[in-house]
Structure 1
Amino acid sequence: MSSYNFEPPSDSVRINWQLGDAVAELRKRRSKWRSDQQRANELNGRELPSPTVVRESIAKVIQALFPMRLGPADLREESEDFYVGYTLDVAFNSLFEQARLELDYAARRGIGESCPKRQRDCAERIIKGFAMALPDIRARLDDDIVAAYRGDPAARSVDEVLLCYPGVEAIIHHRLAHYFYSEGLMMLARIISEQAHSATGIDIHPGATIGRSFFIDHGTGVVIGETAIIGDNVRIYQAVTLGAKRFPEAEDGHLEKGQPRHPIVEDDVVIYAGATILGRVTIGKGAVVGGNVWLTRGVPAGCNVSQASTANGKPIQQSPLL
């Protein structure tokens, strides 16, 4: 259990900030929020996963996936297995507690099991499944790293790609987050994906389905939506958006959740910098989408689409669209 020392250092200057009114008003704001959100009668204690704990736990998992490159500097191969086992054990115990918190939170809102034992059993099952999924996740990440190395003439080694490329950092977090999303732990998944988003500027929703050998070059400003489906051997560049064209509303006026609204990108597609593709459209196998192209219709397999222009400034469509 963590302990907190609220005493200032002995040599610090003591200032009376007169915080009584601020503390009281903040308490009122918390009470109003909890009442508005119908949380006033809930039990004391933390009710949501901790982003700090999740971040630390996922960092441990990533180190265990690549121990000799992302693990501690003094690690030796003879102790590699021990390090991996110990590190994963620590990470999984923390993730188990965060998963249980999310399941408890969902149960209090009428989602999922209302029995604490069943929530605990479910959390245990999910984390055990995560452990079993790690070898396949590692294999997929190996493919992603090789794709980045082969796809970038500036890359000197696969190790440089793993240690330095923001697109690789983003896809590592995505593949871990996608597991939790698939198991229904949406909040845990979003926390993981947003950590990578903050660090890299690459925003991949954990619900997006991404095939093997995926490479984001440069990466800043890339956005990939929740229901996007991306095939194998796809390469995209910075500032690409795979987004939604419109957001249907339900009868109550709120936006509909979970509807397919993002693009499908088939195998072997290349999408260059600044391209924006919106809606549930399909970019066919082997197509190339040029820089700064705006698409709201599908592209046939093998088609090249570039920004349209003519000498008099009137746009023309250079390649057929579906």
Structure 2
Amino acid sequence: MIYNNITTIKDFVILGFPGLHPTYYGPVSALLFFVYLAILVGNIFILVFVGVERRLHKPSYLIFSHLAMNDLLFGTVTLPKVISRYWWDDKITSFSACFTQMYFVHSLGAINSLLLLIMALDRFIAICLPLKYPILITNNTISIACGLSWIGTFVRMMAVVLHALTLPYCNSNIILQCYCDHISITSLGCGGNVKYVQAVALGLAMFTLLLPLSFIFFSYMSIFVVVLRMTNMENRYKTLSTCTPQLFVSCLYYLPRCFVYLAHNLGFSFSLDLRIALILLYSLLPCALNPVIYCFKTKDIKQILMKKLKNAKVGTKQISK
């Protein structure tokens, strides 16, 4: 078959869950709306709380703020469209809007991976090289590292999008996903370059995922070795408690992704609806749960919150008297 280098598609249709019966459109849209609400409230709270509390103006909490901003943006980029798709049957998205969404979806995912790398580096130096921590890890160095992660990824992902735009799109315009991503869009491309464009994007994605994951694994293994060598049980517990929030956040991001990739490569096949549900789960669940982890697993934030709650209760009792 001969393909002309002409794109005939002007709009895409976001199909969402192909097997979902219209009866469940309302409950699904309501569930996604509450997930989005949890993402908004939780991450805005973290941004404001860390920004207002001067005691939290430290490198670790600066990383938390960047992660909260990333989660907030990711939820805002992905959820409103799929909610409107099931709430108002608004499933049409323009060609340019779909590519824009794809750009931000993959950019924010890659930035999240780099921020987790910076978080692991922060804990690695704090525990394995404590004397060098005040010199190497400062608010300025963390701000520069996080800033470079944002800027560098946005520039790099622009090349991925432009590469995908070289394909002519003249087949179906149905996106078998709840939002526009690279695989869903390029699968609709025509010509012999589709596999090449997808392979290049997959290689970059694996590099972005596996390189940070390798260092994160190495850093936490090194931390556990240092902790096991400690003779004082109290110091061991305190050291581990400083790592648990970061470890929880990293596991939420990487473990479901690794499970899906390994299952696919080992020959385990999922139905299309289940695959889409798993992708939504590992994409959005961390965005909603990360603020809870920060609040209940981070000692400083938990102490400040408890102190404020106690002061509020005392103030209420005094007013009532």
Q: TM-score, normalised by structure 2?
A: 0.24
Q: Which has the larger radius of gyration?
A: 1
TM-score, structure 1 length as denominator? 0.24
Indicate the structure whose relative CO is greater, using CA pairs within 8 Å and at least 6 residues apart: 2
- Larger % of helix: which? 2
